[in-house]
């Protein structure tokens, strides 16, 4: 029985599992998103989130601790240089798992594991929606603005023939000038 056995062994020995998680963590840090099985993604999330938390404090000791887990100098440099400043104020939850369906070959449940603050599509969509949204103004028009709006001529364009509509448009523009 496997009571109180918390970690998923992923069908590997401990040294193989440690190497697998270190490689996947390095790939996630370098590429900001990876595609993998859901079981591996859940195991990787418990592996990498403490490392990202450790990277918030940029000291020699924390770099050496993270390097002992990752065994990749470039990934450690990337983590401390680019990832940690972006997640500095986030209290946790640095990764996101997006399920993509089942793999064709063996029907394994697949997902995308990504760093939350580096998804440009989700961040871009939110900021763009906020900037283009406009509120209705409640301020009242002054008497001069109201008079200008009512004094504007209301013209009807000829709907029967396009040539007549163009002729009326040119006449209106000439009369305004």
CATH number reported for the structural domain that contains residue 62 in this entry:
3.90.1030.10
Closest CA to 115 of 142, 147, 86: 86
What's the Cα-to-Cα distance from 36 to each of 5, 16, 46, 113, 169, rounded to whole Å? Answer: 23, 17, 15, 7, 62
Within a domain: 90: yes
Within a domain: 7: no
The answer to whether the pTM exceeds 0.85 is: no
User: Any idea what the Cα angle at residue 106 is, between residues 100 and 107, rounded to 5°?
Assistant: 40
Within a domain: 154: no
Range of the domain at 80: 14-120
Say which DSSP state 10 is in: T
Total of domains in the chain: 1
Within a domain: 142: no
Within a domain: 33: yes
Say which DSSP state 106 is in: T
Closest CA to 32 of 103, 90, 82: 82
pLDDT tens for the chain, 177 residues: list them. 889 888 999 999 999 999 999 999 999 999 999 999 999 999 999 999 999 999 999 999 999 999 999 999 999 999 999 999 999 999 999 999 999 999 999 999 999 999 999 987 777 765 444 455 566 766 665 666 655 655 555 555 445 555 555 565 555 555 555
Within a domain: 172: no
Query: Would you state the pLDDT for residue 145?
Result: 61
Cα 101 from Cα 28, distance rounded (Å): 20
Within a domain: 30: yes
Within a domain: 175: no
């Amino acid at each position: 029985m496997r009571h109180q056995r918390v970690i998923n062994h992923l069908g590997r020995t401990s040294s193989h599992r440690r190497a697998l998680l270190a490689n996947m963590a390095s790939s996630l840090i370098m590429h900001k998103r990876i595609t993998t099985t859901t079981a591996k993604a859940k195991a990787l999330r418990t592996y990498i989130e403490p490392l990202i938390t450790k990277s918030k404090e940029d000291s020699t000791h924390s770099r050496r601790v993270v390097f002992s887990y990752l065994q990749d100098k470039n990934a450690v440099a990337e983590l401390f240089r680019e990832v940690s400043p972006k997640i500095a104020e986030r209290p946790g939850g640095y990764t996101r798992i997006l399920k993509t369906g089942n793999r064709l070959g063996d029907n394994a449940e697949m997902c995308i594991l990504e760093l939350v603050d580096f998804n440009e599509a989700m961040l871009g969509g939110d900021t763009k929606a906020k900037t283009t949204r406009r509120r209705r103004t409640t301020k009242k028009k002054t008497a001069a603005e109201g008079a200008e709006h009512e004094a504007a001529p209301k013209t009807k364009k000829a709907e029967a023939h396009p040539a007549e509509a163009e002729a009326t448009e040119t006449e209106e523009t000439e009369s305004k000038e």
